[in-house]
Chains A and B, each alone.
Chain A
Amino acid sequence: MAARASAPRKGSSPVETDKSARVSEKGAVVAEALCRSYGAVKALKGISFAARPGEIFGIIGPDGAGKTTLFRILATLLVQDSGSASVAGLDTVREYRKIRTLVGYMPGRFSLYQDLTVRENLDFFASVFGTTVESNRALVEDIYAQIEPFENRRAGALSGGMKQKLALCCALIHKPEVLFLDEPTTGVDPVSRREFWDMLARLRLAGLCVLVSTPYMDEASLCDRVAFMKDGRFLALETPGTIASRFEGELFSVRGASTSRLLGELRAVPGVVSCYAFGESNHVTAARGSHTAESLAAALLGSGHRAVAVERIEPGMEDCFMNLAGRDAP
């Protein structure tokens, strides 16, 4: 363990040089072995990554994975137990004041002033950062246009989707270099979620580094790179395409008359590693080389299923998450 930890740190390995170059880059976010506990609960168990400007960096994981703790440290609202982090080359502990002027943060819980109107909230956030809505209007233009009709409505009386858009405007009004979005789409319906991601894609074009967390696996494929997070650790950190290519085993889709009955029987087939319901089919992971679509179908027909359709498929993000999480399990 000691050897593994010390080897890359000593000397001037190319990895090290590359990292220090990135640290000074405008708008970059770097974490090095971040750890944080709450009493006996280890919320972060050594998180390291470097997110680049103009990148949508997704942190994908279920509730309790540690996503919010990570965001709070990066946004300088919480101090880590060990490890370090920098935003735009500034240390999150020593230079937190400067960082706060450079980042926009949208916490998971709606945290604007409910008794102020839409416009008042926006003016307030602009003035706190010593700027005006007018001077930064261009960045928020297409988002603000959607809430402008309700400019005089109190924020507390807005619908969920509108609150989310106002919160994003407020987080952007001072032209931040980095945007932290903690679960902006949780509880939001699929259509509104897609609209929100379209907005993020436009912000990326403006050169912002966007760190966004979500429990929805389908949103992982919309990020430039994704970190799958579970129990305080990253299970993987790759582009969505690379994550899919690292899937362990072979994936099949199995359809039959009774999805729930198939589930139990598939799990009993030798060579089958896992089996989960996926919409109207079952996704079956078999050890590499252990099965073909034909051999799986034959195994099921043997146990009395009359019509099953088995097909070899490419894994989606959710398949990949379960694959990684399963491998990780004790």
Chain B
Amino acid sequence: MSDAIKATGLTKRFGSFTAVDHISFTVAEGEIFGFLGANGAGKTTAMRILSGLSKPTEGDALVAGLDVKRDSERIKKTIGYMSQKFALYDDLTVRENIKLYAGIYGVPRALIRPRTDELLARLGFLAEGDARVSSLPLGWKQKLAFSVSVFHDPKVVFLDEPTGGVDPAARRQFWELIYEVVDRGITVFVTTHYMDEAEYCDRVSIMVDGRIAALDRPSELKAAYGEPTMDGVFRSIARSAKRKGD
């Protein structure tokens, strides 16, 4: 098994509306895959299917070798997920949050404590272990939320706009953390509205109206569209969209 994700003709309809329209792609193990698209292009729907939260109407997808139709419960345990909108419990301390997630994902009890210490040391958060998450700056919260999402060593981690609203320096530190987990062999599937972050991905796909309109390495896309930046590539592709909004 060398593909972390393999989608074949993946389709999701809501009534007469086709949110995801026969998308096919593969993500290699250890790859950083950027999943881009305008609001309403179908990214969230596709991501929900791949993370086992929703079933496709048609087509297939394997995530870490598991079928999204039959093995959705096992998929949920095999992946990590982090979103900008919901990350950690504000009223729990840093350590309590880690313990809660580690427990949910079945990390053996004996391992939780030493791994937590090691993680906090690596992040430079040792002094904040017993602080409530609500008291941390947003940039720290995001870093912690990301670290928690990979605490159980998932095969694939899904990041849904992980850096929205974070200050520019913290946004870059966040990407340095992403590179570290890739070195651990974890595959990263990430959505973002920051086009400079698209450049940090090994490959990106750009969704338009439920379909994948382009998929390649950033350098190849820029060459193919004759644009100097990914922002330019995104604009020229997204302009063809017929659907509007979310």
Which residues of A are in contact with B by a Cβ distance under 8 Å?
Answer: 61-64, 158-163, 186-192, 194, 215-217, 230, 259-260, 263, 276-280, 318, 321-322, 325-326
Contacts and interface: CB of A to CB of B under 8 A. Distances in A.
A192 B38 contact: yes
B245 A186 contact: no
A259 B213 CA distance: 27
Given A187-B161, A189-B39, A162 B245 contact: yes
Contact of B164 (A162, A186, A278): A186
Given A159-B246, A190-B235, A280 B38 contact: no
B165 A62 contact: yes
Contacts of B175: 277
A159 B245 contact: yes
B179 A279 contact: no
B139 to A, nearest CB: 8
Nearest to A61: B167
B39 to A, nearest CB: 5
Contacts of A325: 167-169
A187 B245 CA distance: 11
Contacts of B229: 279
A298 B14 CA distance: 58
Interface string B169-181: 1101001100100
Contact of A187 (B138, B139, B164, B172): B164
Interface of B: 37-40, 137-139, 161, 164-170, 172, 175-176, 179, 193-196, 198-200, 218-219, 229-231, 234-235, 238-239, 241, 244-246
Given A159-B245, A189-B37, A190-B193, A280 B138 contact: no
Given A159-B245, A215-B164, A326-B169, 18 more contacts: A62-B138, A63-B166, A64-B138, A159-B244, A159-B246, A161-B244, A162-B245, A186-B164, A190-B231, A190-B234, A192-B245, A216-B194, A260-B176, A263-B176, A276-B168, A277-B200, A280-B199, A325-B168
Contacts of B38: 189, 191-192
B168 A322 contact: yes
A278 B161 contact: no
Given A160-B40, A190-B235, A191-B239, A230 B246 contact: no
B244 A277 contact: no
A278 B196 contact: yes
B138 A191 contact: no
A158 B193 contact: no
Contacts of B246: 159-163
A276 B167 CA distance: 13
B234 A191 contact: yes
A217 B199 CA distance: 17
20 contacts: A61-B167, A62-B170, A63-B138, A64-B137, A64-B138, A159-B39, A160-B39, A161-B246, A189-B39, A190-B231, A191-B234, A191-B235, A216-B194, A259-B200, A263-B176, A277-B200, A279-B196, A318-B168, A321-B167, A322-B169
A163 B169 CA distance: 31
B40 A161 contact: yes
Contacts of A159: 39-40, 244-246
Contacts of B167: 61-62, 230, 321, 325
A191 B165 CA distance: 18
Contacts of A278: 196
A270 to B, nearest CB: 22
Given A63-B165, A191-B38, A230-B167, A276 B195 contact: no
Contacts of B244: 159, 161-162
Residue among A62, A160, A321, A322 facing the most chain B CB atoms (10 A cut-off): A62
A95 to B, nearest CB: 33
B217 to A, nearest CB: 10
Contacts of A280: 199, 218-219
Contacts of A161: 39-40, 244-246
A190 B229 CA distance: 13
Contacts of B195: 190, 279
A235 B246 CA distance: 34
A186 B200 contact: no
A217 B172 CA distance: 14
A294 to B, nearest CB: 24
A276 B196 CA distance: 12
B245 A276 contact: no
A215 B164 CA distance: 8
A217 B163 CA distance: 13
A77 to B, nearest CB: 21
A163 B179 CA distance: 36
Contacts of B166: 62-63, 215
A189 B207 CA distance: 12
A217 B168 contact: yes
Contact of A160 (B168, B231, B245): B245
Interface centre among B168, B169, B170, B176 (most CB of A within 10 A): B168
A162 B200 CA distance: 31
B169 A191 contact: no
